[in-house]
Structure 1
Amino acid sequence: MSAHRTGGKRPGLYPLRLTVTAKVLVFGGHAIARRLGKTGLPDRSIAETWECSDVEGSGSVVADGPLAGVPLRQLVLDQPEALMGAGWSGRHFPVLTKFIDAAGALPVHLHADDEAAQRLEGQPNGKTEAWHILDAAPGATALCGVKDGVRADQLRAALEAQDFDAVLRRLPVRAGETLYVPGGTLHSFGPDTLVYEIEQTSDIQQHAMRWNMEDGSPVGDAEFSSNLDMLMQQVDLDARPDFTPGLRVAVGDGVERVFLCAGPYFALERWRAGTAEPLRHSFATAQILSNVGAPVRVRAGDWSGELDRAETVLLPAVCGEVEITGPADVLFGHLPDLDRDVRRPLVEAGYPLQAIAALGAGARGVETRESRT
């Protein structure tokens, strides 16, 4: 590993299996192992597994092959374009993905947007995220966004009283749907909800709860008041996102591509294939490939391997193409060129710009630019 850090000859990039960080939090359960089938987890209530992470202190490391032991952060610095795509540069991998088991309800909280993160938290970026619902109990709901007409003082009073339904929107949750959650949006989901989450690389957050999510211990009055002070400086009173079923495109005999969400920070797609022909996907930016179905055989160039249930592999941009033998049910998360990777294939499939815009806040910028030309 030291040779890679000190300028020695670096091995070329290949599909990268990464180490996974398991988070033990009070709202977790056993669904990631027992329902998704993920192996290698401790026999404890696991709330989250961080599948691809460059968050400080919880960063992924390459788990196998010639680059085994090299942190993802180091690959970003050493081989930015081979990893992320032509013309890209940055100091960290920009996308974070997780499986989340909300066996219990998550705390009501928000993540700062970029501006607030830089101004108030001393962080380089905030955290916009999206939830793709893998499974949910009948009647499951999520809180997301402040009700229309609620003033800041009303919100603060309700949060102090822990009366969340008085001021927050409660939405029905259904498996297969996706919610794009801009930074600054108050939210929570669970119980009995299993989610794949994609987001900006950040662990920044402000809570509105009187308990700590790490161990359930009480939050004292002074700390609680300070938390609400910071939260109220960061909350977006106008953010009211809604779930979407995504936009489907047939790309082969029994092969379906569903655009789940898309914005300037990430896009997420779900691909399914039968056995008539393999799933083939060409790409120009790094792809976080997570398997949410039965084990599959993955091939990229000279590399071939099996991706088990709930496993993830990072496909560097230099790979360019992947083939997956069906039956397959997989997710691709990536940092998109919105026009090339999202708008163009959806317009060619016949979708109007309004429908594309509903996939995420960033896609609306594409609509605006195009409407002016």
Structure 2
Amino acid sequence: MGKERSGAIPFLLKPAGKDYLWGGQRLNDDFSKKINMDPLAETWECSTHPDGLSTVSGGEFDGKTLKDVISMHPEFLGQHYEALKEIPILIKFIDARSDLSVQVHPSDEYAFEHENGQRGKTEMWYVLDASAGARLVYGLRHDCTKEEFLSYINEGKLERHLQYVPIKKNDVFYIESGTIHAIGAGALVAEIQESSNLTYRIYDYNRVDKNGKLRELHIDKALEVSNLKGLQEPRQKLRVLRYGPGVARELLSRCKYFEVNRMLVNTERRQDVFYESDELSFKVLLCFDGCGTVCYEDEDERRHYIDIYKGDCLFVPANSRRLKLNGRFDFLDVRC
């Protein structure tokens, strides 16, 4: 690979698991998470959020939380985020065996004022798989007032006013804060979001938790933050795969919080595929199919390899050493 500049070293992350009642077991079965939860609804792959901290797997920081590593090395975040001393985004896998609750997330401004300075939550979904007939909720079918919306909830008629959108593998959805939404049964999703766990639950199909209690709803707050305008059904935007030697890349989503690209690596013909970092921001590589290796050189030109498998999450610090990718695998390239 030639003489490399000095720089930080990438490392794998181990997720925190969530056993929400609507989850299944695909994250264990398909992604070998080996988390002893049933159901296993979500894995928080890259997170410094206190409700679910990811930890480092292997290397110098093995077993430490990502939050502790960033506290010791805020420079890993890059010039744009070093002062934060935390990751401003959160990356998840989600397995919806059943429908998620109909919910809404607040904006940054509302959360800061009403939720003790927390972030709001805008998010993006990339559909990894979807069963026949799978769908999601995206906003309302028509405009309504707060009074009308509350009456739909109280009279048990909300579902007929929601907009349902069919989904399929490889779809992308951008969910801005304030948008009423829900992931439907049969969806396997990668989610990239602001680092927030603020969810205002509007409707939950009268389900009970493992203790036999109805789950809490947050109607008052939801009424304050929800967009009650009828929304157009989201259409899949034209996406362009740009091909280079051994790799193809396409932009999935870009907003003020994150940028997400899909990268398809195939070095069967031995092309060199290099991945470059910069000093401005960290990056996260989330492998959702295939396997391969990530190679870097130390100051003495000795090569080091990190094996990457389906379901793995690799944190690439700002100003990381130059990486060489080998194998046949697909991943989301997430940056701020």
CA distance in 2, matches of 1:300, 1:164: 54
C-alpha displacement at 1:49, in angstroms? 0.7
Query: What is residue 5 of structure 1 aligned with on the other side?
Result: none
Query: Following TM superposition, by how much is the alpha carbon of 1:87 offset from its aligned partner in structure 2, in angstroms?
Result: 4.1
| RMSD of aligned alpha carbons | 2.3
Contact 1:178/1:246 (CA < 8 Å) preserved in 2? no
Report the Cα distance in structure 2 between the residues aligned to 1:98 and 1:313, rounded to whole angstroms: 13
Contact 1:178 1:260 in 2 (8 A): yes
Q: 1:106 aligns with which of 95, 100, 113?
A: 100
Q: Write out aligned runs for 1:72-83 (5 A).
A: 72-81=66-75, 83=76
Is residue 2:114 matched to residue 1:120?
yes
- Which structure has greater helix proportion? 1
Distance 1:322 1:204, change over 3 A: same
Gaps of 5+ in 2: 1-6, 299-303
Alpha-carbon distance in 2 for matches of 1:250, 1:22: 35
Distance 1:171 1:216 in 2: 32
Q: Does 1:264 align with 2:264?
A: no
Q: Is the CA contact 1:185–1:239 (under 8 Å) kept in the aligned structure 2?
A: no
Measure the CA separation in 2 of the matches of 1:62 and 1:239.
44
CA distance in 2, matches of 1:190, 1:213: 18
- 1 or 2, which has the higher strand percentage? 2
Bigger drift between 124-133 and 36-45 goes to 36-45
Given candidates 13, 18, 25, the residue that maps to 2:20 is 25
**Distance (whole Å) between structure 2 residues aligned to residue 213 and residue 75 of structure 1:** 38
| Residue 140 (structure 2) pairs with residue 149 (structure 1) | no
- Select the structure with the greater relative contact order (CA < 8 A; seq sep ≥ 6): 2
* C-alpha deviation, 1:47, in angstroms: 0.5
Aligned residues: 318
Partner of 2:285: 289
**In structure 2, what is the Cα distance between the partners aligned to 1:213 and 1:329?**
38
TM-score, scaled relative to structure 2: 0.86
Q: 1:245/1:295 Cα in 2 relative to 1: closer, same or farther (>3 Å)? A: farther
Amino acid at match of 1:85: G
2-structure distance, mates of 1:193, 1:217: 26
Name 2:224's counterpart in structure 1: 233
- The answer on 1:204 being equivalent to 2:198 is yes
1:212 and 1:73, CA in 2 relative to 1: closer, same or farther beyond 3 A? Answer: farther
Distance in 1 between residues matched to 2:40 and 2:260, nearest whole Å: 24
Q: Secondary structure at the match of 1:248?
A: coil
Corresponding residue of 1:16:
11
Partner of 2:130: 136
Any residues of structure 2 matched to 1:1-373 within 5 Å, and which?
13-34=8-29, 36-42=30-36, 44-81=38-75, 83-88=76-81, 89-210=83-204, 211=206, 215=210, 217-219=212-214, 224=217, 227-238=218-229, 240=231, 242-245=234-237, 247-274=239-266, 275-276=268-269, 277-284=271-278, 285-302=281-298, 303-319=304-320, 321-335=322-336
CA contact (8 A) 1:182 1:239 kept: no
2:295 counterpart SS class: strand
1:43 Cα deviation after fit? 5.9
The separation in 1 between residues aligned to 2:142 and 2:296, in whole angstroms, is 48
Q: Is the 8 A contact 1:27 1:213 kept in 2?
A: no
How far the C-alpha of 1:288 sits from its partner, in A, is 1.3
Unaligned runs of 5+ in 1: 1-11, 336-373
- Asked whether the equivalents of residues 140 and 190 of structure 1 are also in contact (C-alpha less than 8 Å), the reply is yes
Query: Could you tell me which amino acid in structure 2 is paired with residue 233 of structure 1?
Result: E
> SS in structure 1 opposite 2:170?
coil
CA-CA distance at 1:247 after TM superposition: 2.6
* CA distance, structure 1, for counterparts of residue 155 and residue 98 of structure 2: 21
Deviation at 1:165, TM superposition (A): 3.2
Residue of structure 2 equivalent to 1:353: none
Taking the aligned partners of 2:132 and 2:174, their CA distance within structure 1 comes to: 22
